[in-house]
Amino acid sequence: ATCNYQARKFGIRKGMFLGRAKKLSPELVVLKYDFEGYQQVSGMVDDILQRYAQEYQGVVEKVSCDESFLEIFVPQTHDGVPVVLSIAERIRQDIVDATECTATIGVANNKFLSKLASDQVKPNQSLVVEDHKELLKGLNLRDLHGIGYRSEPKLQEKGLTTVQDVMG
């Protein structure tokens, strides 16, 4: 279902079939899924996000037990500091205080970019996207949602490996 960051160093990715993961890392340790524990912690995080949504006239879109999008409406900056960065850091701290779990937050003007931002700073950081071209510049197409191990070789055959290749 998922993997930690140590497993990712071996090329293991979330959603990967277990057989393939074990081929990449024969010493892979597989833990039993604690569904009840995940549900409990997920509910605590949901409560925190709902609180911020109410405070900033926003909305929460839950994607999975460990991923959500929070849309809020705040001023761009306060004294030159992005307001959303301080809110993101408050959310992360609230999550740690309530659950003893870390959180990663990507902030952007759309879900696609915010997801990419959070992927760039995992684990346990926040990133505000100020220049989307800068964020996309160094990414491989494989880093994008929907580009998997089947479509990647087809794109590579056409000379397309990085986002820069398709941006021109």
Catalytic residue ranges: 67
Distance CA 72, CA 97 (A): 22
Contact between 104 and 98 under an 8 Å Cβ cutoff? The reply is no
Burial class of residue 9 (count of CB atoms within 10 Å of its CB; 0-12, 13-18, 19+): exposed
Cβ within 8 Å of residue 4, ≥6 positions away: none
My answer on whether omega of the bond before 26 falls inside 30° of 0, hence cis, is no
